Structure formats: C-alpha cells, structure tokens
Structure 1
C-alpha cells in the first residue's frame, strides 16, 4: 500500500470526492476554495476524478493544475492499468454495472498516457495531522478500494476498516472517505468517519447540488455545491452519454438505486 503523509496541516481544509469527469462541478469546487481562501495544500480529493460525465481529460487537467492532494479511486486504478471496466464494485449484470460500460469506454478513449501515469502514481492512502488529531484519507475501503460503506452500514463494517488502517499506519482519530457518492458523518467509538460525498453527481435526494466537506478545529461540516449542471448535461448529451446520468444531474435522482441499501432508496425514505 502506497501511503503519502502530508505532515501537519492547520486552518480549514476542503475535502471532496468524485469529480466524475464533471468539469463544471470541478471548476465550481475550485472557485469555492478560492472564495473561502483555502490554499491548495489544504484541499484533498478522495478519488474518482474520472467517471460518469463527458469531460474526463479536461477534469483530470483541472485537478492536476490545481495541484491538490488526491488519493487513488478505483477509476484511476482501472484506467492506469488499462482494465476493461471501472471496478466500481457494482454487482455483475445489474443496471449500474451495464450503465457503467458506456461512460467507461468514453473515458478509456479520452485519457492520455500521461494522465494514466499520473493516476498510477497516486497513493492508496493519505495521512496528515490536524488540530492534534491524526487523519487517514482513503477512497472506499482500505483493503478493498471499491467497498461501499453507507450511512446505514453496520458499525462492524467501519470497525473492520478502521482496524485495518491502524494496522498499516498506527492510531488514528478520523477517516475521510468517498466512493459511495453520499456525504455523511459517523462516530465509531473514538474515531470519526467522514464521507465528503461526490462533487460530480448529486446524492440521490432530488437536488442538483452536489456535496463537499470542510474540516476545521470544530470537526467536519457538510456543504452543498451549486454549479452549472446544465452545461455538464449538454456536454454529456453531445458526447452521446445519455444512459440516465445526464438526467440525474438535473433531477437529483440516480438512474438506478440497485447499489443502495434498501433503507436508502427513495421509497423507504419517503415512507419514513
């Protein structure tokens, strides 16, 4: 496992994940960091720079130009290895699995060898100290990069990951993660688990705004990110990426909920 240590960081940090080839959301995130006067060294991405949307090369270039710390997502690992699919962890044959084939093929064709080399060099885990607490940044799970951990996952699932992280880097106070596309916070014993969500796709709640997190001395706060989703939709439709994720950018609802635990699907949320 490749681990990158950022040392001691102070002041507010901006944590985000899942740019998902959404250039307009990435540009809005960079503008938000500027608006908050958060320096690039205090901006961290939890991976999956490339995924559903239509501008993978441009989004990679924007993230590389920004120069923030990035932990590898499953999409980066798969593209760097020239693998045949995104490695997202979707069950074979499900709608999510079938839909991923379209955007992955488009990304595979668009990403340069130079970008793949950059992806291959990304760390599996990032560590840093902040306000007296030690943090670890991962993508999905530490042992399985594409493991889905949800707001409703059992404590034991988080404990398993936390214990593995401790076996690699020692004691920690906080884990920052991504992959599942939903922003949430959980307290697991003495450890905070914070998922910053994804900026490239809304969190299936009927709003077009996506999500990111701010980490300061008082802990983590989750925020919504408005951006030009119509511009992203137009780019997707021009590229022929019309399997449903283009519509999701406006409606705020994913084209399939198969990947979600039943308790998080719309019918369950509405009845609750």
Structure 2
C-alpha cells in the first residue's frame, strides 16, 4: 500500500471524486478551483478518473495537466494491472455489472501504456493536515478499495475502515472518501467521515448537478457543480455508449439501483 503525505495545507482544499471520463465536468471543477484561487496541490481527487462517460483519455490528460493530487480508484488499479473488468464490486449478474462491461471496454481501448503506468504509481492513501486536523483521503475503503459505504451504512463498517486507516497512517480527525457516488457527511467515533461524491455522474437525486467538497476555515462544505451536461451526454451517444448512463446525466437518475442499499432506493423513499 502506497501512502503520500502532503504535509500542512493552507487555504481552501477542494476534493472531488469520480470524473468518470466526463471531460466537461472535469474541466468545470478545475475551473471552480482556479476561480476560488485553490492551489494545485490543494486539489485532490478520490479516484476513478475514468469510467462511464465518453472521453477517458482526454479526462486523464486534463487531470494530469492540472497537477491535482490523485488517489488511486479501483478503475485505475484495474487498468494498470491489465484486468478485464472495472473491479467496482458490483454483484455478478446485476444490471450494474452487465452495463459495466460496455463502458469498461471503451475505457480499456482508449487508455494507453503511458497513462496505465501513471495509474500504477498512484497512492492508495493521501494524508495532510489542515486547520489543525489530520485528514486521510481514500477511494472506497482500505480493507477493500471498491467498498461501498453509504450515509445509512452500519456504524461498524465505518469503524472497521477507520481502524484500518489508523493502522496504516496513524490517528486521523477526518476521512474523505469516494466510490459510492453520493456525497454525505457522518461522524463516527469522533472522526468526521465525508464522502465527496463524484463529479462525473449525478447522485441519483433527479438533479443534473454533481457534487464536490471544499475544506475551509469554516469547515467542510458539500457544493454543487454546474457543467455542460448536454455535451457530455451527446459525446457518450457519439461513441456508442447508450446503455442508460448517457440518459442519467440528463435525468439525474441512475439506470439501475442494484448497488444501492434498500433504504436509499427511490421506491423506499417514496413509501417512507
């Protein structure tokens, strides 16, 4: 396991997850960082630069040129290893699992040797200090890079991951994670756990806007990202990615709820 320590960071820190090959969203979040005056070393991504959308190579190039800090996601690890699937942790045979074969094949065709070598060198955990707090940034989990943790997950699951993080990097006050695709904040045994969400796909809420996190003197804030959704969706159609995710960009709803726990599925919300 590779750990990168950024030391003490001052000023705002902007954190985001899952660009997902969505070049338009990636350019938009980097433009936000620039407009807010956030230094490149204070821009941190929780991984999965490539996934569902149309422009994986261009999105990687954009992230690399920005010099933002990146934690390896399962997609980066799988591509670096030459694996045949995304390693997302989808249950075999589910809709998410079946649909992933299409977009992963597109990514696999587009990402070259140089970018795969870059992915292989990415850290598993990034740590830094900010406003007297020690922060660890991961992808899904330390026990499992593709672990899904949700706002409603059992306390024990969070405690297990925090214990694993502490075992690798020492005590932390805050954890920033990604992977699951829905932003949230939760306090677990004195540790603030924040999922920064993803910028490349809406959070199954009916909104086109995606989400990211800013750390400032005022604390942690989950913010909405506006970007050129129409172009991102059209790009997907133009390369043959028409399995439902191109519609999700526009509707704000995922094509399947298989990966969600029952208490976060829309049917459960409607009846609750």
Superposition TM-score tier, normalisation by shorter sequence: over 0.9
* CA–CA distance in structure 2, aligned partners of residues 210 and 14 of structure 1: 14
How far does the alpha carbon of each residue in 1:227-261 deviate from its partner, in whole angstroms, 9 at most, with x for none?
11110111100000000000000000000001000
Q: C-alpha offsets along residues 176-235 of structure 1, whole Å, 9 cap, x if unaligned?
A: 000000000000011000000000000000010000001112321101101111101111
Find the residue that maps to 1:141 and give its secondary structure. Answer: coil
Corresponding residue number in structure 2 for 1:58: 58
In structure 1, what is the Cα distance between the partners aligned to 2:35 and 2:218?
A: 20
Deviation at 1:36, TM superposition (A): 1.1
CA distance in 2, matches of 1:188, 1:12: 24
What is the match of residue 69 of structure 1? 69
Q: Give matches, 1:7-46, under 5 Å.
A: 7-46=7-46
2:259 maps to what in 1? 259
Q: Secondary structure at the match of 1:119?
A: helix
Partners of 1:270 and 1:59 in 2: CA distance: 36
1:207 maps onto 2:203 in alignment: no
Distance 2:89 2:38 in 1: 33
Q: TM-score, normalised by structure 1?
A: 0.99
Equivalenced residues, count: 272
4+ residue runs over 4 A deviation = none
Distance in 2, Cα, partners of 1:239 & 1:69: 29
CA distance in 1, matches of 2:128, 2:170: 12
Partner of 1:160: 160
Which residue of structure 1 aligns with residue 119 of structure 2?
119
CA distance in 1, matches of 2:78, 2:54: 18
Secondary structure of the residue that 1:7 maps to in structure 2?
Answer: strand
Q: Does 1:268 align with 2:260?
A: no
Task: Report SS of the residue matched to 1:63.
Answer: helix
Residue aligning to 1:247:
247
Following the alignment from structure 1 to structure 2, what is the Cα–Cα distance between the partners of residues 143 and 119?
Answer: 20
- Structure 1: runs of 5+ lacking an equivalent: none
Aligned to 1:219: 219
Name the counterpart of 1:49. 49
Alpha-carbon RMSD? 0.6
Structure 2 residue 179 is matched with structure 1 residue 170: no
Q: Secondary structure at the match of 1:167?
A: helix
